[in-house]
Amino acid sequence: MQASHQNKQFINGTWITAVDGGELPLVNPATEEILGHISFGNEKDAALAIDAAEAAFKTWSKTTPYYRAEILKKAANYLRDNLETIAHDMVLESGKPLLEARGEWTVAANLFEWYAEEGKRAYGRVIPTSRIDKRSSVILQPMGIIGIITAWNFPAYNPARAWAAALAAGCTVVAKPSENTPLSAYHLMEALIHAGLPPGVLNLLIADAAPGGEAMLNDKRLKKISFTGSARVGKILMDGASRTHTKLSLELGGNAPVVIFDDVDVDAIAKAASIARFRNNGQVCVAPQRFYVHKNIYDQFAERLSGYVSQLKVGSGFEEGVNVGPLITARQRDSVFDLLTKSKTERAEVLTGGNRPEHLEKGYFMQPAVVGNLDQSSSLARNEIFGPVLPLFSFDDLDDALAKANDTEYGLAAYAFTDNLKTAIKVSEGLEFGIVGINEWAPHGTELPFGGWKYSGQGHESGSEGLYEYMEKKLISIGIG
């Protein structure tokens, strides 16, 4: 694979430097070394990208889904063919373990392939008539130019699910990935270039977030912004969109409860929890966060879990057997340490971890922590932690568990573990979240709708719902009288 991006932006079919010549250092979170400098744009680059997407929409929106599918499938194969190189770069910029990076790129490739096929199934509807002199149908059409802003925690998966769906739907795109993880975005772009994507159809804008985002919001040619990121920035976009009427899809933060009833295999769940909670260092929007454990098994669970968590290996994502890499930035690490420190002033008890690992001098590392003696008012219950801390709580019965689990402004994912069918049904129906996993830790997939309730967002990505986010419905009523 030949790297052609040279850390630039890709606008209207060409790699270009930012209009004002801005640059940003890219830091390896495991070593704190500067990996290089990336070209870093602003609202001027955003305007160029929107111009290009506008011109390209005229032809791309008229292509067949079969034509678009061929390009998406070639891009998927390019990612698969170059898996080792692109996984290596993802580890460099994000710090995640190589195994997780490989898995994420495989899912990104699958998303391109899945939407290639799903685009062919954007069926409309013929509606049986109530009037003999009319015929009515609904067709789906590409929405227009879409701005896609994504977070760093899944540098390939977050962009891929939105890019693939928008392109399959016949939209053109201005894509602004996170400035923390541009290397993966360059690789996604190169896959599409290699696959023959025409100029201007997807434009890669690596730009200063606030002016770039503002330029996208203020330009009426952009029909929607698909945003994956924090609830804080989601709110900024909602406020802005109320002025400009830009449509929004919002995939925001989470604070997922995990309800563990007393009829489960305690050791097996504790072991699995020690892996699930610390995947990607807890920097996962659907990360299992608040663990509610039935009072009968609380002590046993806490002991087993702490044992497993203390054995997790922290280090560089390239190191064999490492479970937990660094946090993405010094700021992110400090915010997790701050939450933990605050919880201690609230009488929390650290059962294991929570320090800087002694064997690692550089890098934004933290020893995975388990924390007990908490109640609902604790900072670790109220905030999205987005780091390697696992807070434990106890509950009395199903009603108590549901009341505590639902006691959050977030509503993305929730989990429950029980061997009792009645309990499983009642808890799955009672949880106020968009995604519920019963007796499993990964309730998501290319073909499954992914979206949050309450503060966690609006709309869906992935699955057929993800495609329809980028299509407008049109009712056509034909008078034949």
Question: Contact between 236 and ligand NAD (CB under 6 A)?
Answer: yes
Q: Which residues pair with 41 in a beta bridge?
A: 207
Question: Contact between 35 and ligand NAD (CB under 6 A)?
Answer: no
Question: Contact between 434 and ligand NAD (CB under 6 A)?
Answer: no
Question: Contact between 446 and ligand NAD (CB under 6 A)?
Answer: no
When binding is defined by CB under 6 A, the residue of 12, 17, 141, 230 that contacts ligand NAD is 230
Which of the ranges 55-63, 86-94, 149-157, 414-422 carries the binding residues for ligand NAD, by CB under 6 A? 149-157
Binding map of ligand NAD across residues 188-217, x = CB under 6 A, - = no contact:
---------------------xx--x----
Q: Which residues pair with 453 in a beta bridge?
A: 411
Identify the active-site residue in 171, 285, 384, 461: 285
Question: Contact between 18 and ligand NAD (CB under 6 A)?
Answer: no
Known catalytic membership, residue 171: no
Strands 457-458 and 247-251: antiparallel
Known catalytic membership, residue 251: yes
Among residues 189, 57, 175, 70, the alpha carbon closest in space to that of 120 is found at 70
Question: Contact between 254 and ligand NAD (CB under 6 A)?
Answer: yes
# residues near ligand NAD by CB under 6 A: 27
Per-residue H/E/C for 147-207: EEECCCCCCCHHHHHHHHHHHHHCCEEEEECCCCCHHHHHHHHHHHHHCCCCCCCEEECCE
Look-up of token digits 């780091």: 387
Q: String of b and e for 121-133 (b: at least 16 CB within 10 Å)?
A: ebeeeeeeeeeee
Residue with smallest beta-carbon separation from ligand NAD = 213
When binding is defined by CB under 6 A, the residue of 252, 260, 270, 324 that contacts ligand NAD is 252
Question: Contact between 233 and ligand NAD (CB under 6 A)?
Answer: yes
Sign of CA pseudo-dihedral 423, 424, 425, 426: positive
Q: Where are the beta strands (DSSP E) in 299-434?
A: 349-352, 369-372, 389-395, 410-411, 413-417
DSSP 321: T
Min CB(411)–ligand NAD separation in Å: 11
Closer by beta carbon to ligand NAD, 251 or else 264: 251
Kindly list the strands in the beta sheet with 369-372, ordered across the sheet, starting from the edge strand earlier in the chain. 349-352, 369-372, 389-395, 288-294, 256-260, 413-417, 435-438
Helices 182-194, 157-169: axis angle to 10 degrees equals 30
Min CB(184)–ligand NAD separation in Å: 12
Which of the ranges 192-200, 226-234, 256-264, 364-372 carries the binding residues for ligand NAD, by CB under 6 A? 226-234
Which of the ranges 16-24, 104-112, 152-160, 415-423 carries the binding residues for ligand NAD, by CB under 6 A? 152-160
Q: Which of residues 281-320 bind ligand NAD (CB under 6 A)?
A: 285
Q: Which of residues 344-403 bind ligand NAD (CB under 6 A)?
A: 384, 386
When binding is defined by CB under 6 A, the residue of 42, 82, 153, 423 that contacts ligand NAD is 153
Residue 441 structure tokens: 């830790």
Closer by beta carbon to ligand NAD, 228 or else 281: 228
- Using only C-alpha atoms, the chain has a radius of gyration, in whole angstroms, of 23
Identify the active-site residue in 251, 384, 461, 469: 251
Look-up of token digits 């009426």: 220
Q: Which of residues 44-83 bind ligand NAD (CB under 6 A)?
A: none
Distance CA 51, CA 56 (A): 9
Closer by beta carbon to ligand NAD, 178 or else 423: 178
Residues classed as catalytic: 251, 285
